[in-house]
Every structure is written in structure tokens, then in C-alpha cells.
Amino acid sequence: MGRTQSEPREGWSARLRHPAAPYVAPFAAFLLILSVQDYLRFLGVWEAPLRFLVLGLVILLFARRVLDLRVASPVPTLLLGIAVFGLWIAPDLLWPGFREHWLFQNSLLGSGGGALDPELRLSPLFLVFRFLRAVVIVPIVEELFWRGWLMRWLIRSDFESVPLGSYTPVSFWVSAILFASEHGSYWDVGLLAGIAYNLWIVKTKRLGDCILAHAVTNASLSAYVIWTGQWRYWP
């Protein structure tokens, strides 16, 4: 009986020690919270601090041992992050109404319009933690999953034997396309961003450079959202 009772604990412990857990678990938690975000509206301005705290704890619990924030090429990485931000907003600036095309607004992808509650837009607490989530949490969660795990796993299931930044056409393009799909009606610029970040991990061989580039993109976009009121970029 005693051994039977310990088996679930041993199973959970084994999952925590699985090589993929540090890369996949934070992203899974991120998607889970996204899937129930409509049920979190009752939290009001406290939704953003709570999300930040929960995801931060998940990262610390699972990913701390594999997270390497060292940057090999700081200046080019900063410039890449800014360039991807430019790519993100360029279509809407150059072609007003571009995002209303059926390719971007349909039953599968949803709409690109921002639905942020007007009360939240005026809350410094919400805006600060929403900004921090975009700049700190999202780059770590997504880069661990897309560039840290999936690109390597697509090359070999024993992904730890595959060096960071290893390239095959399948791993490069499948991860970029799936990254694009994660961004819904912004799949087009999501694809360009995925290609840019994939190229950067192939070049630098460092996750830290991709996390920094992603953080700069998100910081620039978030500042743009708050400054201009273009809330559609904040789902």
C-alpha cells in the first residue's frame, strides 16, 4: 500500500525532472492562463500582477537551471529587436485598413481589434504589470519553448544532444510557422518575427540574445501601445 501511494508523487517528480520540462512547462502555463483569461476579468486591475506573479514563479520553479541570459552580441541584438518592432507596426501604418482583410479577420483567427477594458487602460498598476509581462515574462517563456526546445526537438527527440542554434530546413520553418500561428490575426508579422528570431539563434547560438531581442521588440511595442492608444496590439 505504501509503495502504491508514493507512485503518484514519484510520477510527478519524474515529470519535473524531464529534460523538456524547463522549456515546455512555462509555455504551457502561459497558454493555460490565456485560455481562461475571460474568466479572470473579475480581478480587474489585479489580473496583470497576478499573471506576472504566477508565470514568474513557474519560470523560477521549472526553468531556472537552464535559463542563460548571457548576451554575445548586445548592440546587433538591440537593433534586431527594434527592427522587428518596426516590421510589426509597418503594415498598419503603410496600408490603413490592412488588418481588416479576411486573411487576418476570420472565424479561425479572430479579430485584431483590442478589447482592453477602458478602466484598465487608465490604471497605472495594470499598465506597469502588463508592460512587465510583455518585456520580462513573454520573451523568456516563448524563447525557451520555440528556440530553446522546439527547434532542437524537431531535429532530434533527444534535443539536449542538439546544440542551440542548430539548423535544418524543417526545424527552422516549422517553428517559425507555428510561432506565427500563436499570434492569431497578426500571423503575418508573427511569421516575420519568427524568421528573424530563428535566424538570430542560428547566428548567435545563444538563447540570451534571442530573449533580449524579443524583449526589446515587446518593450518598443508596449511603449507604442501606451503612447498612441493602439490597444489592438495588446490582446
What pLDDT, in 10s, does the model give residues 47-77? 999 999 999 999 999 999 999 999 999 999 9
Q: Contact at 8 Å (CB) between 206 and 68? A: yes
Q: What is the arithmetic mean of pLDDT over 96-110?
A: 80
Residue 83: which pLDDT band, with cuts at 50, 70 and 90? very high
User: What residues make up the domain containing 41?
Assistant: 2-233
Q: Which range among 36-45, 106-115, 127-136 has the greatest average pLDDT? A: 127-136
Is 73 in contact with 205 (CB distance < 8 Å)?
no
Total domains in the chain come to: 1
Cell digits of residue 204: 548567435
Residue 183 DSSP one-character state: T
Q: Average pLDDT of 206-234?
A: 95
- The SS3 assignment for 110 reads strand
pLDDT higher than 90, residue 4: no
Helices 169-182 + 187-204 axis angle, to 10: 140
Torsion of CA 172, 173, 174, 176, to 10 degrees: 90
Residue 53 has what pLDDT? 97
For residue 129, what are the contacts with CB-CB under 8 A and spacing of at least 6? 48, 49, 51, 52
> Does the pLDDT value for residue 113 go beyond 60?
no
The residue written with cell numbers 526545424 in the block is 171
Residue in this structure with the C-alpha cell 518598443, named with its chain if needed: 220
Question: What value does the mean pLDDT of the chain take?
Answer: 90
Q: Where are the alpha helices (DSSP H) in 59-186?
A: 74-94, 118-121, 124-132, 138-143, 151-153, 169-182
pLDDT of residue 115: 64
Residue 190 has pLDDT above 60, yes or no: yes
Q: What pLDDT, on the 0 to 100 scale, is given for residue 218?
A: 97
**pTM of the predicted structure, to 2 decimals:** 0.90
Q: Cβ(143)–Cβ(198) under 8 Å?
A: no
Query: Measuring CA to CA, which residue among 191, 219, 207 is closest to residue 143?
Result: 207
